[in-house]
Structure 1
C-alpha cells in the first residue's frame, strides 16, 4: 500500500509540480498586479459631466428605438466621446445603445467611432494600432460577452495602454496598461490557465482547471502522508538526521514538505473551490433575480420625471452627475446619479414626485422593507447595520478578484429560510448587494480565506499580510520546484535505463 502511494505521489509530481510552482509564483504577482479591468472609478473619472441643457430624448422614444417589446432590466445614461448615450440591458447577455439626443439606435460602432471614444478616454493620445477582435488574452471575461466583437486600440500614451471599445455600445469597456499586460503574462494569464482559453480547448477550460487542481490537491495530500511516513520520530538515521534522504534536493523537498505541506494543500484546494467543482457549493436556493417580484421589474410607467428634469435638480443641489440610472427600488422609480469621485445621489422619479429633492440614501427601515419583500414566506431573524467591515463584508484592492470600494453603512438581514440566507443592502443606491446562504458562507472560507487570507486582522495590517502571503507562497514554490527537479531527474534516469537496455538488446 505504501509503495503504491509513493509511486502515485512520484508520478503525479512529475506532471504537476511545474503547474504548482507556476501557481505559487503567479499568485504573488497577482497580489500587486491583477488581470486588466476597467474599474467603476476609472470609468466615471473619464466621463464628462452630463449637461441638462443637452439631454435628452424622451424615455418613450429611447425605448421605441430599441425595437424591443419587453422592458429592459436596466437603463443607464452615460457619455460616449462626449455625446449622451443611453444603454439598455436585456438580461446579462445583451445591451442596446441609443443616441441620447436623437433617440437613434446604434447598430454597430465603427472604427472611427471607437477611435473617438478611445481619445475621449485618453485625451491627447493617438492609436498606433487598431483591430477588431472577438476575444484575446485580456478579454476572456464573461462580462465582455454583450460587447463582442471588441475594437482593440494601442494608444501612444505614457503607459502604452491598450483600450477595448464595445462594438455594440461604443463605451471603453477595458483598459490594459503596459505594466498590467507585461506582468499579466506571468500573473493572472498563467494562474488561471488562460493558455487553454480561446482555442480548441476553450469549451473544456473549466474542466481542465478543475481536474488539474483536483489532481494537484491529491498530490499535495499524498506528499504530506509520505513525508510523515519517512520521518523518523524516534531515533535517527545513520546520517544523524531524522530524514532518510542524503541528497540535497530530496532532503529539501522532504523537510520543506513537512513544514509547508499543509499550506500547500490549502492553497491548491482553495483554488479548486474557486471553480465550485461539480456545483458542490450550490444550495439550490432561488437566485436573487428569481426572487425579484413583478413590482421590482423595470417599467417606464414608474418614471414621470425626464432625465433633463432630474439632471437639473441634481445640479441645483450642487451634485455634478456623470452617469444617470433609471432604477426600481421597492416598486417605485428613482434616478441614481453618480459623480466622478465615487459619490451618489437619489431622486424620486414617479409621476407624483412633484418638487422632490435629491437625497443621499434610503432609510434603513426602507431597506429592511425592501429586503423582507424578497423573502415573503420567511421572517427576518436579525437585522444589523454595518458601520465597519467584518468577516463577510470587506474591501480589497481594486485590482484583486472582487476588489474595489465597498461603501458603508450597509444593512444585513438574516432570514429563517432553510438555506439560512443573508441579504446585504446598500442604502446609497437601493441595491441588494448580494444574497449569501450557508453554502456561500462556506465558500467564503474555503476560497477567500484559504486562498488569499481575506482575514481582517491581516488585511488591515499591511505589510503584515504581504509578508505572510509571500512567505507561505515561497514555501509552496520551493516545494514545487524541488519536486520538478526530482521529477526531471527521474525521467532522465528512466531514459538512460531505456537506452542501456536497448543497447544490450542490440548487442545480443
Structure 2
C-alpha cells in the first residue's frame, strides 16, 4: 500500500472517529440497556390481563347491533370486549374496496356507534384497565410522543394520555378512535427508555421537523459507522507488529494509555462492532432490500368465504357462559363461522358461532386448504413441536418479542419463486406469520447478528447475557477512548488555528 493511500486511510478514520465515536458509545451503552428494558409496548398478554370480564347480560346479537349501526357487507374483523370505557362493545373493521378498513366501535347493548374518544371516555377506559381504586389524572392529548413513535399506532391518533397513580406510575395512551388502551408505560420503563431504545434508535429525530429524514439519518450514519470501523480495523492491523515488536517492546506503537487501549480494543472488538453496526442498518430494511415482492395470500382458500354480519344472529351470552372471557373474536375458517373465546391467559376456546359448542379444526382439511394460499405447489408441510432457527419466541420487551408464538404449528413450504413459508396455528387455523427468502435473510443479517438470538445461546442464559455485555463493554471502551483521542486532537487543531493569527501579527510588528 502506497504511503499516500495509507495516509488517506488514517485521516479518514481519524476524522470519521471524531464525528462518530460518540454515536458508537451511545449505541453500545443503550444496546445493553435494551437487553433488559425495551421500547414501551402493550403486549397481547398485558392487554388481556387488564381487560374486564365481558358481561353477557342484555347484549345484542352482532347482526342486530351492526344493522342498528348501519353496517352491512363483509367484515375483515369483528370482536367483542369491554375495552372502550369499560362497556361491552363490538369492534368492527369492514372489508371491501370502499370500506377504508377504518375500525368502527358499536355499543353491544344499544347498537349505537360509539363516538370518538373524549376526556370522559379516556378516563373510563383507564379506570377499567387500572382498576376501581386507583387515582387517575388526565394529561391531555398528543399526536406522537417519545413512547408512541410506532407506525402501528397511526390509526389511533390523536392519543389521550392518562397518568395512573399506582406504585409503578404508569402512563396510559388511549386510542382517539376506539377508546381502547393501546400503550402502557410504567415510570421505570419510561426512564430507562431514554437511556435505551429512544436514544438507540435516534428517536430524538422523530415527531419533529426531522421526522421525514429519520430513516435516511439512521441509514447514512450506519454506513458511515461501518466505514469508520473498517478503516480503523485496517489501520489497526497495519500498525500492529505481529513479528517484530517496536523499540519499546510493545506490539503497538502508541505509548499513551488512551491510544494504546483504543488500538488494542479496536482490534479485539472490530468484528463485533462491524457486525452490530451493519445489522443495525439491516434492521431498517434500507431501500427495501428485504421486500421480496411475494403475492398476497389468498385467504379465501383457508377461510372459505368472508365474515357476513347478517348470519351472526346468535346472541353472545352463551359464548360467554364459561366465565372469565375477556374477548370474543369471530372468524371464518374452512367455510365455518367460529368464535375464539379468549380468557385472561392461555389459548382461546374455539366455539361454533351458533351452537356455542367447542369445535376442533380438521387438521387434514386445514392442510388441504392451506395448499391454495399462494396458487403454487406445496413442497412439504412440517409440524413443529418446538422452536427452531426461524420460528421462535423472544422476551416480550425485545424488538421482535411480545407477539404470540404458539406451539405446535404447521409450516407450509411453497415452491413459489420467493420460497414462501406460512405458519398456521392448528388450534385456530389462523395464519401466524409468513416469510420468504428475503425475510429469512433479514432474520440472519439483523436478528442473528444484532441480538444474537441463536436458540442454543438464548436457552443458556446467563451465558447469552455475559457474552453480549462483555462485548458491549469492550465496544464502549473502544468508543470512549476514541472520543477522548478525537477531542484532544481537535482541541490541539483549534488551539493551533487560534494561535496562527497571533504569530502572524507578532511577526508583522517585529
The alignment's TM-score, normalised by the length of structure 2, stands at 0.92
The offset of 1:248, in angstroms, is 1.0
Name the counterpart of 1:306: 314
Deviations 1:234-276 (CA, angstroms, capped at 9, x unpaired): 2011111111111111111110111110000011110100001
The offset of 1:298, in angstroms, is 3.3
The offset of 1:400, in angstroms, is 0.8
Name the counterpart of 1:62: 66
Asked whether the 8 Å contact 1:18–1:481 carries over to 2, the reply is yes
| Root mean square deviation, CA, Å | 2.0
Asked whether the 8 Å contact 1:329–1:370 carries over to 2, the reply is no
Name the counterpart of 1:382: 380
Query: Partners of 1:258 and 1:415 in 2: how far apart?
Result: 44
Query: Partners of 1:307 and 1:35 in 2: how far apart?
Result: 40
* C-alpha spacing 1:174/1:313, structure 2 compared with 1 (3 Å): closer
Name the counterpart of 1:125: 134
* C-alpha spacing 1:224/1:81, structure 2 compared with 1 (3 Å): same
Query: Partners of 1:69 and 1:193 in 2: how far apart?
Result: 44
Query: Partners of 1:88 and 1:330 in 2: how far apart?
Result: 21
Deviations 1:441-481 (CA, angstroms, capped at 9, x unpaired): 11100011000000111111111111111111111111111
Which piece of structure 1 moves more, 404-413 or 175-184?
A: 404-413
| 1:135 and 2:144 aligned | yes
Name the counterpart of 1:115: 123
Query: Partners of 1:167 and 1:52 in 2: how far apart?
Result: 26
Query: Partners of 1:383 and 1:37 in 2: how far apart?
Result: 33
Asked whether the 8 Å contact 1:385–1:412 carries over to 2, the reply is yes
Asked whether the 8 Å contact 2:64–2:313 carries over to 1, the reply is no
Asked whether the 8 Å contact 1:283–1:439 carries over to 2, the reply is yes
Which piece of structure 1 moves more, 297-306 or 488-497?
A: 297-306
Name the counterpart of 1:496: 495
Name the counterpart of 2:299: 292
Task: Provide the secondary structure at the position in 2 that maps to 1:384.
Answer: strand
* C-alpha spacing 1:297/1:106, structure 2 compared with 1 (3 Å): farther
Task: Provide the secondary structure at the position in 1 that maps to 2:137.
Answer: strand
Query: Partners of 1:223 and 1:63 in 2: how far apart?
Result: 68
Name the counterpart of 2:76: 73
Which of 103, 108, 115 lines up with 1:95 in the alignment?
Answer: 103
Name the counterpart of 2:393: 395
Query: Partners of 1:471 and 1:297 in 2: how far apart?
Result: 54
Query: Partners of 1:14 and 1:365 in 2: how far apart?
Result: 62
The offset of 1:63, in angstroms, is 5.4
Name the counterpart of 2:235: 226
Name the counterpart of 2:419: 420
Query: Tell me, which stretches of 5 or more residues in structure 2 are unaligned?
Result: none
Query: Partners of 1:176 and 1:436 in 2: how far apart?
Result: 31
The alignment's TM-score, normalised by the length of structure 1, stands at 0.93
Task: Provide the secondary structure at the position in 2 that maps to 1:257.
Answer: helix
Runs of 4+ in 1 over 6 A off after TM superposition: none
Structure 2 counterparts to residues 383-462 of structure 1, below 5 A = 383-404=381-402, 405-462=404-461
Asked whether the 8 Å contact 1:48–1:82 carries over to 2, the reply is yes
| 1:321 and 2:328 aligned | no
Query: Partners of 1:433 and 1:306 in 2: how far apart?
Result: 28
| Count of residue pairs the alignment pairs up | 495
Query: Partners of 2:410 and 2:186 in 1: how far apart?
Result: 37
The offset of 1:387, in angstroms, is 0.6
Query: Tell me, which stretches of 5 or more residues in structure 1 are unaligned?
Result: none
